[in-house]
Amino acid sequence: MKVSDMREMSGEDLNTRIGELTEQIFRARFKKSLGEVDAVKAIRENKRELARVRTLLRERELEIKR
């Protein structure tokens, strides 16, 4: 998902997305332990997107305090 699309999402939607990504990372780690090679790429991509979502939420939090 692009950052520009994420910026248009509400805070509640972003929190929901965090839960989805966390679940996907968990499942990918499980697949990795079973030996699936594609799981490594999925973990990396999901962790990056999770970081982007958390960064957007943090930016919004800091703007509110200003």
What pLDDT, on the 0 to 100 scale, is given for residue 37? 85
Q: How many CB atoms lie within 10 A of CB 40?
A: 13
What pLDDT, on the 0 to 100 scale, is given for residue 66? 61
What pLDDT, on the 0 to 100 scale, is given for residue 41? 94
Here the CATH number for the domain that contains residue 42 is 1.10.287
Residues 6+ apart with CB under 8 A from 42: 24, 28, 31
Burial class of residue 53 (count of CB atoms within 10 Å of its CB; 0-12, 13-18, 19+): buried
Cα–Cα distance between 33 and 15 in angstroms, integer?
Answer: 28
Domain hosting 18: range is 3-65
pLDDT in tens, the chain (66 residues): 788 888 999 999 999 999 999 999 999 999 999 998 889 999 999 999 999 999 999 999 998 776
Cα–Cα distance between 29 and 63 in angstroms, integer?
Answer: 35
Looking at the structure of the chain, the number of domains it has is: 1
